[in-house]
Every structure is written in structure tokens, then in C-alpha cells.
Amino acid sequence: MKTDSTVSIALLRKMHRTMVLIRRCEERISDLCELGEIRCPCHLCIGQEAIATGVCSAVTEADYVWGGHRSHGHYLAKGGDLRALIAEVLGRATGCAGGRGGSMHLIAREVGILGTVPLVAATIPLAVGSALATKLRREPRVSVAFFGDGATEEGHFHESLNLAALHRLPVIFVCENNLYASHLHLTERHLLDNLDRSGEPHGVPGQRVDGNDVLAVYDATAMAVERARRGEGPTLLECRTFRWRGHVGPALDLDVGVLRRNELGAWRERDPIVQARSRLMEEGVAATEFERVSNEVDSAVDDAVAFARRSPYPAPESLFDHVYHRPEAR
């Protein structure tokens, strides 16, 4: 774990708690999927918690975040309501999108989450658009686009980086490189391992970061945020990590090629939560604090599940709401 970080112990404690919340929340979502209570596809970020936590801890509530199909962690790290998240994946009217979006369509405008989009790479031009809007309005906001390594193979990744660089837009491109685009390993899709240099042809500086080290992610993001706020334009962060579960659903996907079978064990030894906990213990934090955090998070997740289960489904008569424009009565 990064040893020269200037992150305070108070902030590291907060980030540790956020990562535990994401982990326990997703483990519960996994259980609910296996029980058949959750019917929508769920893409879990277990093992990747340090990226969402480190990035969102380095921006403010007023800054904008765009997530993709694997965005429970982004939602929670940015301050999204836990109850509203569980209710959404259970399709209840009290969900953050009214029970209409499910796991991949989350929103919490009150904390700067303008939406999560399951289309590969769709978050990238959206973040550029919101950054352009804030620059035109002369607002001091920064926009963040989260996306996977597979998104860098879409054309509008490069189009967006070029536009953002040309207009020096305050946007941070965060590539969560977990080495797999669905079930295809990075080495089967790229001759060179150089995603962090993808922005160079457009004049966008890039940095490769240990995505399992929350301190490294936070520090890299903080520098990119400062650069954006100074009007110096976008930054690309390639955060290397590994998802413990399969592309979609709770399974481990150990049957997906020999590579993943051999890789998972090594990546589990680099658990981002364990790394943060070890650093806190080095700073004198007692083990009893971790037990307390664990119990508090478990209680919060239990409460959220209970809330969602007793919440109603959307009313049948609301089926066409938000589909067709309804003129105001004169």
C-alpha cells in the first residue's frame, strides 16, 4: 500500500468504512440474486471497491459522476442512499429510479450522480457533456466518467478524449481495468498493455494506478481534480484491479479460461479492504473498531433490505409515465 500518501487517518477510516459498506451491500445483493428475489441482471464490483471509494472521496458532493453497468460501488461511494439502492434492485417504487431502472440504471442527483448507463462506453461522452455544460456556466464542478477496459475499444472513447482536451474540459476519465471485457482477457484484445497512454494522441495525460490501493487512487484523483479545477483539462486514470465475481451475477466464473482460475487467488490476497485495515492498524487503530464498523454496516444493510421488502411495487397505472410527453393542462 502507498506509504507516502498525505491522507489523514480520519479520511482513511471513512474510506475503509465505505469499502466495507460496498462489499457487504454487494454480498447481500448476491444472496438475493441466488434466492430469486432480484430479477434484474446485477454486475458486482466485489474486489474493486478501492477505485469507487478513492475517486469519490477526492471529489465534492457538487461534482458529477457517471457510472456504467457495474456501479453499485460508485453510487454508494458518492453518497447515494443505501435504502434507495436496495429498493431499486428489488424493483420497488421507493428505489432511486422509482423501481424502473434496476441495478444498471441508478441516479441520485442530490449527490451528483447524474446516472449510470449500461451501454459500454456511454458514460464517457456524457461526462464530457456535463463538463462542457459546467464550463459554459462557469461552475467549479468536475465530471468523472467510470468505465471498464473494454470501453476503450469503442470509437467515442477517443472522440470524447479529443473533444475534452481541445476545450480543456474539467473531466476525469477513470478506467477500471479489471483485465476482462466480459469474458475476454486484455491480452486477447490488445497487443500492447498501454491503456494508460491511450490519451497521448489527444494530449490527455494518463497515469496507471494500483486500483486495489485506496490511498493511491485517492492521491491520483486528487491531483487530477486540482488540474481540472485550474483549467488545465482532462486526465486519464487507468486503475488496475480484478473483479472477484463473474461478469454478471454472483458466480465466480472460474470456468472462464485458465487465466481467470489462476489469477483470482492472487488478486484476493490483494484485497483492498484488508490493505486499508492493515494501514490503519499500523497507525494504532484497534481491531475492535473494525468489528464495530462491520456490525454497523451489517445492520444498515439489513435495514435497507427490510425497507425494500416492505416497499410497494410501482403502480400498474404508472406504466407509461416517463415514456410519452404529457402536455400540461391549460
Segment 139-160 mean pLDDT = 92
Query: Cell numbers of 219, please?
Result: 492521491
Residues 171-208: tens digit of each pLDDT = 999 999 988 777 777 777 887 888 889 999 999 999 99
Which of 70, 61, 85, 63 has the alpha carbon at shortest distance from 243?
70
When mean pLDDT is compared across 5-9, 64-68, 138-142, 293-297, the lowest value belongs to 5-9
Q: Across 1-5, 31-35, 56-60, 120-124, which has the greatest mean pLDDT?
A: 56-60
Give the Cα separation of 164 and 51 in Å (integer).
Answer: 22
- Confidence at 307, pLDDT banded by 50, 70, 90: very high
Q: Strand pairing of 64-67 and 113-116?
A: parallel
pLDDT above 70: residue 29: yes
pLDDT above 90: residue 280: yes
Give the distance, in angstroms, between the CA of residue 31 and the centroid of all CA atoms in the same chain. Answer: 20
Neighbouring C-beta atoms of residue 26, cutoff 10 Å: 26
- Confidence at 41, pLDDT banded by 50, 70, 90: confident
pLDDT above 80: residue 53: yes
pLDDT of residue 329: 60
**Residue 319 or residue 214, greater confidence:** 214
Cell 391549460, residue located: 330
- Confidence at 257, pLDDT banded by 50, 70, 90: low
pLDDT above 90: residue 275: yes
What is the DSSP secondary structure assignment for residue 268, as one 8-state letter?
H
pLDDT of residue 3: 63
When mean pLDDT is compared across 129-138, 139-148, 176-185, the lowest value belongs to 176-185
At residue 14, the 3 state secondary structure works out as: helix
Residues 91-126: tens digit of each pLDDT = 999 999 999 898 899 999 999 999 999 888 899 999
- Confidence at 1, pLDDT banded by 50, 70, 90: confident
Exposed/middle/buried for residue 156 (C-beta within 10 Å: 0-12, 13-18, 19+) = middle
Which of 165, 247, 160 has the alpha carbon at shortest distance from 202?
165
What is the DSSP secondary structure assignment for residue 45, as one 8-state letter?
-
Query: Cell numbers of 136, please?
Result: 459554459
pLDDT of residue 35: 87
